[in-house]
């Protein structure tokens, strides 16, 4: 009994000392590969791939919500950006091996790579709803109706879950119609929301695995920008209608 | 012969049993809260995952205690003439087997994570609008999983001794030792924070190792109990002194020339028989009745003791 008390006392004082040390230490947590130290006033290597409106490749480097955020982050750290285009898989592999510092690809926290790399906390949450075009009679219900969905997306599945019929389209149909769209798209189309949310997406950026100081720095920056993200999303001109 | 009695513990221990049940309900509720808190703080850390699994395993003992204390009091029937005392042993066997298997799975999982060089990413958590490092949140969750557990264990240990309940004892012992697991995990989060990513996998291996050891120890004991090992003290270190006391009592009777006894544990209680070579069989029924009553009077745990007069002792 005495031994237990003694050793737990010792342990508690050790923990106390540890916490005091951590509290007084501004460089905590640390990166095993020193990413944050290297990027600050250095080069930020960012992999990107097409994912409008989050990332839109263009002549002078990528545009879109994530490149805007990344550029602001680089300014904040006094870093120069090296943009690396590629396919998502190649970029993830490079990120996992610490050959990139950041991945901007419009990914969500459902990414199958989430165990292999570090994902930030969601910096934006978007929700898909069924919308009704202007002039659609009041009191219309989603169930049993045809609903336009962007071809080649998973939205048809969620439309079917609401007992409606998905109609894959290349662009927004004219006339009276129901269509699935993100909450920030519907007002732009002049549509009004109808029924419960179909799907929610939590947008994240990815960093190399275990670089905790770097991850914390990126997340803290994104957290401070969350009002800006909201503004960018509603202002983004680039997303093609479904 | 005295018919078997069916209350599991004597009246003077009913209070202790009620208190033990209360504590086990409290433990179950507390562990449920720990599971939720730990889940919320979990993140990618392998050590955290292992500690979380260990917390869930902590439910096995209180639940099996609460379930089996209901069963063991049932009266013996024609189908189950020895009663249901062994329900406790079955609960104990199942619990310790689960502990061992999950320990091995966690060990393999942690070993693979370490071998593959998987690094835990621990980033930002926002608590009521304040951004902090999620590692601190994990540490706080671990403190909640550790400190109350220590005191629960300490409260349960003396009850386990009184009630001679091995499941309760194992549970109390685990709770009391929990602070080592918790502190090791807190330490590993701190070491990850210092940039040593391998600490995560390494400490998860240590934690899984201690779960395996725990499972093995308990499984062995459960199997020994089911194989009718001679009764042990509740902490399993020594032979139960009760065996020697029964032997001395019977050997000391003037009509007994030679005696050999066998005792086995069924949950809290002892069953057994004595083979006696008598100096004289005069008035043997009265002598046997007196001797049986004397043995039953030694301790509440001796429930059903049978005396047999023989002309040769069994091996």
Q: Which residues on chain B are in Cβ contact (under 8 Å) with A120?
A: 123-124
Residue B314 lies in a domain: no
Q: Same domain for B30 and B97?
A: yes
Residue B180 lies in a domain: yes
Q: Cβ of B192 and A118 within 8 Å?
A: no
Question: Measured between CB atoms, does B235 come within 8 Å of chain A?
Answer: no
CB nearest A219 (choices: B124, B150, B190): B124
**Per-residue confidence (pLDDT) for residue B7, from 0 to 100:** 59
d(CA B158, CA B20): 10
A52 to chain B, minimum CA–CA distance in Å? 26
Indicate which of A17, A29, A33, A120 best probes the interface with B, i.e. most B CBs within 10 Å of its own CB: A29
> What residues of chain A have any CB closer than 8 angstroms to a CB in chain B?
4, 8, 11, 15, 18, 22, 28-32, 115, 117-121, 207, 209-213, 215-216, 219-220, 223
**Per-residue confidence (pLDDT) for residue A20, from 0 to 100:** 55
- Which residues of B, range 189-208, sit inside 8 Å of A by Cβ? 190, 192-197
Q: Which residues on chain A are in Cβ contact (under 8 Å) with B146?
A: none
- The closest of B301, B304, B303, B173 to B237, measured between CA atoms, is B173
Instruction: Say whether A126-202 and A35-123+204-235 share the same fold.
Output: yes
Q: Same domain for B67 and B183?
A: yes
CATH for the stretch A126-202: 3.40.190
Q: Cβ of B133 and A29 within 8 Å?
A: yes
CB nearest B179 (choices: A8, A210, A219): A8
Indicate the residue among B199, B226, B253 that finishes a domain: B226
The CATH number that applies at residue B20 is 1.20.1510.10
Q: Same domain for B281 and B176?
A: no
**Mind giving me the DSSP string for chain B?**
-PPPP--SS-HHHHHHHHHHHHHHHHHHHHHHHHHHHHHHH-TT-HHHHHHHHHHHHTTHHHHHHHHHHHHTTSPP-SSSTTTTTTHHHHHHHHHHHHHHHHHHHHHHHHHHHHHTT------EEEETTEEEEHHHHHHHHHHHHHHHHHHHHHHHHHHHHHHT-HHHHHHHHHHHHHHHHHHHHHHHHHHHHTT-THHHHHHHHHHHHHHHHHHHHHHHHHHHHHTTPPPB-TTSSSB-HHHHHHHHHHHTSTTEEEEEEEEEEETTEEEEEEEEEES--TTHHHHHHHHHHHHHHH-TTEEEEEEEE-SS---
Residue B234 lies in a domain: no
Note every long-range contact of B308-314, with CB atoms under 8 Å and residues 24 or more positions apart, other chains counting.
B308/B273, B308/B274, B308/B275, B308/B276, B309/B276, B309/B277, B309/B278, B309/B281, B309/B284, B310/B275, B310/B276, B310/B277, B311/B277, B312/B277, B313/B258, B313/B260, B313/B275, B313/B277, B314/B260, B314/B275
Q: Same domain for B62 and B125?
A: yes
Measured in Å, how far apart are chain B's first and last C-alpha atoms?
A: 25
Give the CATH H-level superfamily of domain A35-123+204-235: Periplasmic binding protein-like II (3.40.190.10)
Q: Same domain for B85 and B176?
A: yes
Measured in Å, how far apart are chain A's first and last C-alpha atoms?
A: 70
Indicate which of B113, B123, B181 best probes the interface with A, i.e. most A CBs within 10 Å of its own CB: B123
The CATH number that applies at residue B264 is 3.30.70.1350
The total number of structural domains that make up chain B: 2
A12 to chain B, minimum CA–CA distance in Å? 9
Residue B102 lies in a domain: yes
d(CA B137, CA B132): 8
Q: Same domain for B138 and B173?
A: yes
Residue B236 lies in a domain: no
Indicate the residue among B198, B226, B254 that finishes a domain: B226
Q: Cβ of A8 and B193 within 8 Å?
A: no
CB nearest A29 (choices: B118, B125, B193): B193
Query: What averages of pLDDT result for each successive group of 10 residues across chain B (315 residues)?
Result: 54 90 95 94 88 89 87 86 83 85 92 90 90 93 93 93 87 84 91 91 92 89 87 82 94 94 86 93 92 93 91 87
Q: Cβ of B124 and A119 within 8 Å?
A: no
Q: How many CB pairs under 8 A join A and B?
A: 78
DSSP A163: T
**Per-residue confidence (pLDDT) for residue B221, from 0 to 100:** 84
**Per-residue confidence (pLDDT) for residue A239, from 0 to 100:** 47
Residue B2 lies in a domain: no
Q: Which residues on chain B are in Cβ contact (under 8 Å) with A215?
A: 121-124
Q: Cβ of A30 and B150 within 8 Å?
A: no
- Which residues of B, range 113-142, sit inside 8 Å of A by Cβ? 118-126, 131, 133, 135
Indicate which of A5, A73, A209, A216 best probes the interface with B, i.e. most B CBs within 10 Å of its own CB: A216
B196 to chain A, minimum CA–CA distance in Å? 6
Q: Return the domain boundaries, chain A.
A: 35-123+204-235, 126-202
Q: Same domain for B259 and B198?
A: no
Q: Cβ of A215 and B118 within 8 Å?
A: no
ipTM over 0.85: no
Residue B188 lies in a domain: yes
Domain that holds residue B301: 241-309
Query: What averages of pLDDT result for each successive group of 10 residues across chain A (242 residues)?
Result: 50 57 68 95 96 89 93 97 96 97 96 93 94 86 90 93 93 85 90 92 96 95 90 69 42
Residue B1 lies in a domain: no
């Amino acid at each position: 009994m005495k031994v237990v008390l003694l050793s737990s006392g010792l342990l508690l004082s050790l923990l106390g000392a540890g916490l005091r040390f951590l509290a007084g230490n501004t460089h905590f947590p640390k990166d095993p590969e020193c990413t944050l130290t290297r990027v600050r006033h250095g080069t930020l290597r960012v992999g990107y791939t097409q994912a409008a409106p989050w990332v839109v490749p263009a002549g002078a480097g990528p545009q879109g919500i994530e490149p805007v955020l990344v550029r602001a982050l680089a300014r904040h750290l006094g870093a120069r950006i090296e943009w690396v285009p590629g396919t998502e898989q190649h970029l993830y592999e490079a990120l996992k091996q610490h050959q990139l510092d950041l991945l901007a690809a419009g990914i969500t926290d459902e990414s199958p790579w989430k165990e292999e790399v570090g994902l930030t906390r969601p910096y934006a949450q978007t929700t898909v709803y069924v919308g009704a075009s202007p002039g659609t009679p009041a009191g219309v219900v989603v169930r049993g109706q045809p609903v336009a969905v962007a071809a080649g997306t998973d939205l048809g599945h969620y439309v079917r879950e609401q007992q409606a019929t998905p109609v894959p389209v290349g662009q927004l149909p004219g006339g009276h119609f129901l269509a699935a769209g993100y909450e920030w798209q519907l007002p732009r189309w002049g549509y009004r929301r109808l029924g419960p949310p179909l799907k929610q997406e939590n947008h994240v950026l990815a960093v190399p695995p275990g670089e905790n100081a770097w991850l914390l720095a990126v997340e803290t920056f994104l957290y401070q920008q969350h009002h800006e993200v909201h503004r960018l999303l509603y202002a983004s001109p680039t997303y093609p209608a479904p | 012969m005295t018919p078997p009695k069916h209350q599991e513990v004597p009246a003077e221990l009913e209070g202790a049993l009620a208190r033990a049940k209360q504590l086990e309900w409290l433990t179950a509720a507390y562990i449920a809260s720990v599971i939720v808190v730990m889940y919320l703080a979990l993140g990618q850390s392998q050590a955290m995952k292992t500690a979380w699994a260990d917390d869930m395993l902590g439910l096995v003992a209180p639940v099996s205690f609460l379930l089996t204390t209901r069963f063991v009091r049932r009266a013996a029937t024609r189908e189950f003439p020895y009663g249901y005392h062994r329900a406790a042993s079955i609960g104990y066997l199942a619990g310790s087997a689960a502990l061992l298997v999950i320990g091995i799975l966690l060990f393999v999982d942690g070993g693979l994570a370490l071998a593959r060089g998987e690094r835990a990413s621990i980033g930002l958590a926002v608590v009521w609008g304040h951004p902090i490092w999620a590692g601190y949140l994990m540490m706080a969750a671990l403190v909640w999983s550790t400190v109350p557990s220590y005191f629960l264990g300490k409260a349960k240990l003396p009850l386990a001794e009184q009630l001679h309940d091995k499941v309760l004892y194992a549970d109390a012992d685990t709770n009391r030792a929990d602070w080592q697991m918790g502190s090791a995990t807190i330490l590993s989060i701190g070491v990850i924070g210092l940039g040593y990513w391998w600490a995560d996998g390494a400490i998860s291996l240590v934690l899984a190792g201690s779960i395996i050891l725990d499972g093995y120890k308990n499984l062995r004991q459960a199997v020994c109990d089911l194989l009718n090992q001679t009764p042990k003290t509740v902490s399993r270190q020594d032979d139960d002194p009760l065996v020697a006391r029964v032997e001395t009592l019977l050997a000391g009777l003037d009509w007994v020339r030679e005696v050999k006894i066998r005792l086995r544990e069924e949950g809290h209680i002892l069953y057994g028989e004595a083979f006696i070579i008598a100096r004289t069989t005069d008035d043997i029924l009265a002598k046997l009745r007196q001797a049986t009553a004397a043995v039953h009077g030694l301790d509440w745990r001796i429930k059903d003791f049978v005396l047999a007069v023989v002309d040769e002792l069994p091996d």
